[in-house]
Each structure stands twice: as structure tokens, then as C-alpha cells.
Structure 1
Amino acid sequence: MTDLKHHRGMTVRRLAVAVLAAAAAGCSTTVAGTPVAAGGDADTDLVLAYFTALNDAGEQGADSQADFLRRTQHPDFTDRFCDLDDLVVRMAPVASTLRPDPDWKPEKSADAPRGDTYVIAVTVTIRRGTATLGEQIGSQRVVLLGGEAYGFTPCPAE
């Protein structure tokens, strides 16, 4: 009987050590670099307000949202505005993912946009009328320039 208790005790201890070692190995993550805080509450508020206005415009319809996107297209990239036709996008940002992205350049661009560029994770829902055509998770850039938030019109896949 004593041997059985001793055997069970050893098995439980070995199992506990194995579980703790596995948990420590899986949970210990080192991220290279130094964390950089976003520009503060004011910048966060501007970025999130951009998405609120984008979604509010989308609730008014495709034409209203296209007007919003045209007005808020980054001034250095107005030649890259995409016509979404009758599509409406809804972007739900995840505020905790907002971070500076100073080295980002739009595709096929040699230069970064003027201003402070931020990247944020968003869930994008694409609608035509009342029908949802798709949903995906991605990253969206917003640039703060002169106290205004500017974006880059999403372009539908060809």
C-alpha cells in the first residue's frame, strides 16, 4: 500500500513538473525592440473618430461613404482613390492594437505619407445593399496630419 501511495505521489509530481515546464515554455515570449507608445489619447481619439465617421457615412449609403472616403483620402495620394461602386465597408477597429507605423509606405510608393502614420487591426465587413458579401480581419493605416485623420480608400480585388 505504501509503495502505491509513493508511486502515485511521484507520478503526480512528475506530471506537475511536466505541465509547469510546458506552460512556462509556451507562455514565455520575448519581443525584440523597445515598446513605443502611441501619440497619446488625442491621437487615439482622432483615429477612432475616423472609423466612427466612416461607418456613419456607410449607414447613409454607398454614395455618402464614397464622399467621406474622397474627403479623407490622404492629400499626398488623392490620385489613388478607388471607386467602390455600390459597395459599403464597415470597419470595426481594435483600439488596443493601435501603434505608430512611421516606416510604412503605400504600395508602389517611394515615399511615406506626410504626418504621423498609425496601424490598427480592423474587422472589415463588405456589403452591397443589405447583403453581406464578406468579412475579414486586417490592418488599416490612418495618418494624422494637421489635426485631421486621413486614410486610404480600400480597393476591391480585381
Structure 2
Amino acid sequence: MRRVLFAVLGLAGLLIAGCSSAVTGVPVPAASPDDDRELVQDYFADLNEAGAEGPDTQRDFLRRSQHPDYADELCDLGRLTLTIDPAMSTLRVDPDWVPPDAGRNATHPRGLVYVLGVSVSIRDDGGALLGEQIGSQRVVVLDDKAYGFAPCPTDQ
């Protein structure tokens, strides 16, 4: 019986030794919504602050924060401003998303794409509320910076 026990323990030791291996390098955690949550929150806070200063300031913010792969695909909101209230609890990775109607750039943007629910208020340059809408918005984190895609008004 003792010989069988040593044989089983010896075999288990060989199996364990054969299944283990050292991995070189430094472990790096995979990105997650929690890692980039603050960048996404700051993106919307900056967008809303720019909108509070007026259409020209918000247009400049949208131009500067447009994803670099789509910098030439901006929409003009005219004299409208947006206030976007993000539902941060809905933030999640969206790895397969491609911007609709992206023209020649119809590929997945570089960076980590997130999607989240938002409530959007649209105001004219006098501050009058023209409409509200609930939907989804994408924000991409690339090189530790949050980028968006300037919204385009649609014809009614």
C-alpha cells in the first residue's frame, strides 16, 4: 500500500512539474471600463462645459476631440449646443463597432471603443430647449485620451 501511495504522489509531482512553466515579462491587466471610466466621464464633462460657453466653443471641443481616424468627417451643428448626460452604469466595451456612414474609413477605430446610454438635450444659441433624446454614444480611448464622434443632425 505504501509503495502505491509513493507511486501516486510521484506521478502527481511529475504531472504538476510538467504542466507548469514560467512566463517572462511583466503582467499587464486587460483594459476594462473601470480603467477608462474617468476619461469617459471627463469627456462628457468637457463637452457640456464647452456647450455652456456657446456653440463656437462646443464646435471647437468637438473638432479637437474627434477620433483622429475620422478627423475629416465632422458634422456642423450650426448654432445648436448639446448637453449630454451619460449613464455611466451602462458603460461597456463595444469591440465590433464601426461608425455608420463612415465613408472611406469604414473600419473599426483604433483604440478601445466603449458604448453607453446617454440623454441628449439640444438647445439653440439663445438657450431654448429644442428637443431631448435618449440613445447610445460611443467614446474611444486611445493613448490615454477619450475621443468621440461629432454628432450629425438628421433630417426629420
Which residue is equivalent to 2:135?
A: 138
Q: TM-score, normalised to structure 1's length? A: 0.74
Alignment gaps of 5+ in structure 2: 1-29
Identity between Structure 1 and Structure 2 (%): 57
Alpha-carbon deviation of 1:41?
Answer: 3.1
Alpha-carbon deviation of 1:130?
Answer: 1.4
- State which of 20, 38, 51 in structure 2 corresponds to 1:45: 38
- State which of 49, 59, 62 in structure 2 corresponds to 1:66: 59
Which structure has the highest helix share of the two? 1
Aligned alpha-carbon RMSD (Å): 1.4
Aligned length: 122
Amino acid at match of 2:61: F
Alpha-carbon deviation of 1:42?
Answer: 3.3
- C-alpha change, 1:127 and 1:47, in structure 2 (3 Å) is same
The answer on whether the counterparts of 1:100 and 1:116 sit within 8 Å (CA) in structure 2 is yes
- State which of 79, 82, 100 in structure 2 corresponds to 1:86: 79
Amino acid at match of 2:154: A
Alignment gaps of 5+ in structure 1: 1-36
- 1:83-122 alignment to 2 at 5 Å? 83-109=76-102, 110-122=106-118
Alpha-carbon deviation of 1:157?
Answer: 1.1
Large movers: runs of 4+ above 2 Å: none
Which residue is equivalent to 2:123?
A: 127
The answer on whether the counterparts of 2:33 and 2:114 sit within 8 Å (CA) in structure 1 is no
- Which has the larger displacement, 39-48 or 92-101? 39-48
